[in-house]
Amino acid sequence: MKNKKTNRRRPPVKKRKRKSLLRRIWGSPRTTVVLSFLFLLSFSTAVYYHTQVYTIRKMVERNFKNASPPPDVFLPEPEVPEAEVQQTAATQEQLIWLETATTLLEQNDGRMTAVMPRLYTSKEATILTFEGIGPADEIQNVLGALRAKRSIATFFITRSQIETEMDALTQIVQAGHQIGLLIGEDIVSVTDFMCSMLDAREKLRLLYGYQGELDLRPVGGIASSAFLEGACALGCPVISATFEATPETVWRLSEPETICETTLSEEMPSLQIGGIANFRMGVFTREGTLGNYVRYLLEEKSPYPAMSPGMILTDASLLYTWPLPENRIETSIRDAIAPGQTTYANVLQRITSGFIGMETHKKEEQLPGFTYLERDALNKRGTVPNENNQVFLTFHGWGSDMCIQEVLDVLEKHNAYATFFLQTDGVARNPNLARAIAAAGHDVGTMTHTGLPLAIGLDDDTHYVEINDTEADALRADLMTSYDTLLHIIGDMTNESGKPSLTRYFRPPDLAASRRGLEVAFDLGFTYCVFGSYDCGDDKAESVSDVLKDMRLNTKSGSVLILRISDDCPYTAEALDSYLTQVEENYYRFVELSKVLR
């Protein structure tokens, strides 16, 4: 029998709901302890941190009460006095100048510049310089005279005048003129000198906008080695003067003509090409005198405009070194003139082949020392035969820039070329003018150095006799000096045919020669003695018509016309201009002698 109790169905057990892991942990007593510990730890840490920060802040405040903090961090910058700021800037600028000067000196390596009393150039320009700053009206008059002749000058001032003469300097710079500095003898060292020059150049730039070259001039003409070395390192030309135009003796004069009679001389009757004429301002007592004087010189005593040294020096192709170094001279003419180039056997043959005489040489008294047969063999027609209808203009002597440049201008106008025989004692005082003759494409020969004769004239200058041994020795030395003078001025120049401009042609002074004189010249190596077929007589002419009278009648192919360059021949250039205009229709070609002669 089944147990009823056993078969009774049990009631279902009610399942208990499980708690989440987070609730179990949070409700645990351990958790409560841990959380309480962490809270206390963090609170105590925060309190400790804030306490330390407070302590440090108080300590910093206490320290800064006793010691000032850096101005750029905690306190505003204090105001610095303006004088102290300027002094600091000046010190920095001086350090820059010193560094620049040191670098330039190292690059210069001890070289010194030369003081230039003239610029050695064939550029057709003269140079006017003015020292100091005169009264305002004098400045105005001088600037007006320069402006009227389209000329540029250089005004030399002291360093102090850069800041004290601002009105005058502003006018000078705005008119386009150049500024130079007068340098005294108080140079301590080359670096100090260079720093002062760099500073002066910067002041001129800042105050006046001056960007031109800075020329230098030693006061009193005395230049120390420190001055010359510093100028060379800076690249500044050192300029003196060829001609002092305002000596102390002229301060009372007022008429330009009268002043010129006092200042100009026979050796320098006009301004020169590349020459430097210096004027001191404030010399004349009468208002307007200096301006009128400058205007008169440019109009009546100079064939050139005035330019600044910087304008001339930039044209390097026309510059040269005087005297020319040996390695610059054409080798074919360097040692061409020296004694001993003929013998007793061949000297007459050399004279005969190189003699271009005159009609008057048919007479013994005009060409002493030759026998009748020897004289008969010489070329007394004075022509140079050719087949190209060529005529040869020749000029001899020496003169001022006014007369010679006038002749050169006429030749250029008519595209004519000529041969110039120069008496070289005057050339040595004005080498640029000889250089300008060669630069224009003309031949150059010699007419001795001091005018020593090749024959001795008697009282009436129509009879000549031989020179003696002493006179022959003096002539030999004179001819060698003459050639050497020209050699070291134009020895590097060539004409349009590529031949040296310096020839071995010569012309005897006074157009007189003897056998002994010719033997001396040909023995030295001269190749031709040139007289001519017609003497135009411009040395005796009293008018242009006197010169022109028979020039055209005596012109034919091969003619050699004799003219002069001298201030005593005032009609030469004008007569030459008229003559070349008249004969243009005849299609003559006026060329230099080297076109035909060797």
pTM over 0.75: yes
Count Cβ atoms within 10 A of the Cβ of residue 503 and give its class: 0-12 exposed, 13-18 middle, 19 or more buried. buried
Q: Which residue has the tokens 């003898």?
A: 185
Higher pLDDT residue, 52 or 341? 341
- Interhelix angle 515-523/347-354, rounded to 10 degrees, is 90
Pairing of strands 456-457, 464-465: antiparallel
Output the six-digit token pair for 233: 């390192």
Helix locations, 109-158, DSSP H: 136-148
Q: What is the DSSP string of 360-382?
A: GGGSGGGSTT--HHHHHTSB-S-
- What are the pLDDT digits (tens) for 264-298? 998 899 999 999 999 999 999 999 999 999 999 99
Q: What is the pLDDT of residue 430?
A: 97
- What are the pLDDT digits (tens) for 476-486? 999 999 999 99
Q: Which residue has the tokens 């390695």?
A: 327
CATH of 326-595, one of 3.40.50.10490, 3.20.20.370, 3.40.605.10, 3.40.50.720: 3.20.20.370
Distance CA(161)–CA(450), nearest Å, equals 47
- What are the pLDDT digits (tens) for 62-90? 665 555 555 544 445 556 566 554 555 55
8 A C-beta contact, residue 590 and residue 559: no
8 A C-beta contact, residue 404 and residue 434: no
2 pLDDT tier (thresholds 50, 70, 90)? very low
Q: What is the pLDDT of residue 535?
A: 96
Output the six-digit token pair for 50: 């804030």
**215-218-224-227 Cα dihedral, nearest 10 degrees:** -20
Q: Which of 279, 243, 302, 269 is nearest to 125 (CA)?
A: 302
If phi over 0 gives left and psi between -120 and 50 gives alpha, with beta otherwise, what is residue 217? beta
8 A C-beta contact, residue 251 and residue 245: no
Distance CA(313)–CA(2), nearest Å, equals 149
Which one-letter DSSP state was computed for residue 455?
S
Distance CA(483)–CA(503), nearest Å, equals 9
CATH of 90-318, one of 3.40.50.720, 1.10.260.40, 3.20.20.370, 1.10.1740.10: 3.20.20.370
Q: What is the pLDDT of residue 75?
A: 46
pLDDT at 332 over 90: yes
Average pLDDT estimate for 412-417:
97
- What are the pLDDT digits (tens) for 503-556? 999 999 999 999 999 999 999 999 999 999 999 999 999 999 999 999 999 999
CATH 3.20.20.370-classified regions of the chain: 90-318, 326-595
8 A C-beta contact, residue 299 and residue 149: yes
| Residue 191 backbone phi and psi in degrees, to 5 | -70, -40
- 460 three-state secondary structure: coil
Distance CA(598)–CA(45), nearest Å, equals 117
Q: What is the pLDDT of residue 598?
A: 82
What is the b/e burial string over 544-562, where b = at least 16 CB atoms within 10 angstroms of the residue's CB?
beebbeebeeebebbbbbb
Q: Which of 14-18, 401-405, 461-465, 558-562 has the lowest mean pLDDT?
A: 14-18
Output the six-digit token pair for 245: 């135009």
